[in-house]
A = this chain, B = another copy of it.
Amino acid sequence: MNQYTVATLLEETKFQEVQIKGWVRTFRANRFIALNDGSTINNIQCVVDFENTDENTLKRITTGAAVAITGDLVESQGKGQNVELAVTNIEILGDSDPETYPIQPKKHTFEFLRENAHLRTRTNTFSAVMRLRSALSFAIHKYFNENGFYYMHTPIITGSDAEGAGEMFRVSALDPKNPPLTDDGDVNYKEDFFGKETNLTVSGQLEAETYAMSLGKVYTFGPTFRAENSNTSRHLAEFWMIEPEVAFMDLAGNMDLAEDFMKSVITYVLENCQDDLQFLDDRLFNEEKTKPQAERSDMRLIEKLKFVTENNFKRVSYTEAIDILRNSKPNKKKKF
């Protein structure tokens, strides 16, 4: 018996005796299970022959329950799907108590989901975002690999600052309460793990630059850290950053690289993540419907992404860029 993912099964038309494992999204009319296994935003409909299924088992098919379903893949008579699974056997692998399982088939706020971070990727919004993040990461590596760049892992723990990029987190193995002191009364970092004061990196740039001076074209893509206590949507203490460094490249080449790179990764997700993007596009569109017309976006999400891939980037001077920002709508609202 072959085991499939929902993503692969939905591509097929007919199959005898397949098995699929996943989590119940909904179970309605004692008959229709919407099953998701995370491989795609789409569920597969599993049709239970409830008259010949143990009543106790039927009761345990609740939202969030983990199940193993065996059945035959057939053309669907209902709307919304081409194929469905005619269930021949269902096994409950993990129960989900409807009284306590927090992710129910209804709208949850982000604040509520943040409190249930370990389960939030069971929602469409979060799983779509995480699949997109994964696809974008792959597209980044694919782009650089195809363009002759070498990938470097630069150090996270560092004794250097990079261009004074930001405040740093201290990394230490010293006794935090009674650190060893020098004669001058300063902390004696010579006794710390690395024999010197160390921090979390704010950039892999310094190392990447030295490697570009021998390997030609390199890039980093790894976590970086900023200890500014700035609680805004534009700041994270920990984030992943992409840094390409190229020997013998001038500013024009750098701008061409940035444009080509952006278009390439966006094209990749437009081609490979259609269902997730469409879900987020619809979600945003419906959310904006509640706002006054003037506050809505000019373009829908997918339209915006295509606008980036289908148009040439304009080259502007620093002065022009500052002017554009100063005159921008968000800046006029003092929000930029």
Q: A130-B152, A156-B223 are in contact. Are A173 and B176 (CB under 8 A)?
A: no
CA–CA, A200 and B201, complex, Å: 13
CB of A238 closer than 8 Å to a CB of B:
yes
Contact with B along A187-219 (1 / 0, CB 8 A): 100000110000010000000001101111100
CB of A102 closer than 8 Å to a CB of B:
no
Distance (whole angstroms) from the CB of A208 to the closest CB of chain B: 11
CB of A169 closer than 8 Å to a CB of B:
yes
Q: Closest residue to A137 on the B side, CB-wise?
A: B151
Quick check: B176 and A187 within 8 Å, CB to CB? Answer: yes
CB of A7 closer than 8 Å to a CB of B:
yes
Picked from B179, B238, B248, the residue with its CB within 8 Å of the CB of A176 is: B179
Residues of B within 8 A of A130 (CB): 150, 152, 211, 215
CB of A68 closer than 8 Å to a CB of B:
yes
Quick check: A148 and B93 within 8 Å, CB to CB? Answer: no
CB of A118 closer than 8 Å to a CB of B:
yes
Quick check: A138 and B151 within 8 Å, CB to CB? Answer: yes
Give A156-179 interface residues, CB cut-off 8 Å to B: 156-157, 167, 169-174, 176-177, 179
Main secondary structure of the interface of A (DSSP, over half): mixed
CB of A37 closer than 8 Å to a CB of B:
yes
Quick check: A169 and B187 within 8 Å, CB to CB? Answer: no
Quick check: B38 and A215 within 8 Å, CB to CB? Answer: yes
Distance (whole angstroms) from the CB of A260 to the closest CB of chain B: 15
| Count, chain A residues at interface, CB 8 A | 68
Picked from B38, B216, B238, the residue with its CB within 8 Å of the CB of A157 is: B238
Residues of B within 8 A of A210 (CB): 117-119, 121
CB of A141 closer than 8 Å to a CB of B:
yes
Residues of B within 8 A of A227 (CB): 173, 193
Quick check: A200 and B215 within 8 Å, CB to CB? Answer: no
Quick check: B179 and A170 within 8 Å, CB to CB? Answer: no
Give A259-299 interface residues, CB cut-off 8 Å to B: none
Picked from B39, B68, B177, B186, the residue with its CB within 8 Å of the CB of A187 is: B177
CA–CA, A142 and B6, complex, Å: 21
Residues of B within 8 A of A176 (CB): 170, 172, 174, 176, 179, 187
Quick check: A223 and B131 within 8 Å, CB to CB? Answer: no
Picked from B39, B179, B238, the residue with its CB within 8 Å of the CB of A155 is: B238
Picked from B68, B137, B157, B186, the residue with its CB within 8 Å of the CB of A169 is: B157
Residues of B within 8 A of A215 (CB): 38-39, 121, 127, 130-131
Instruction: Provide 16 A-B residue pairs closer than 8 Å at the C-beta atoms, listed in order of the A residue.
Output: A37-B216, A37-B247, A38-B217, A119-B213, A121-B210, A122-B214, A127-B214, A130-B211, A134-B150, A137-B151, A156-B156, A157-B169, A167-B173, A169-B171, A170-B172, A172-B172
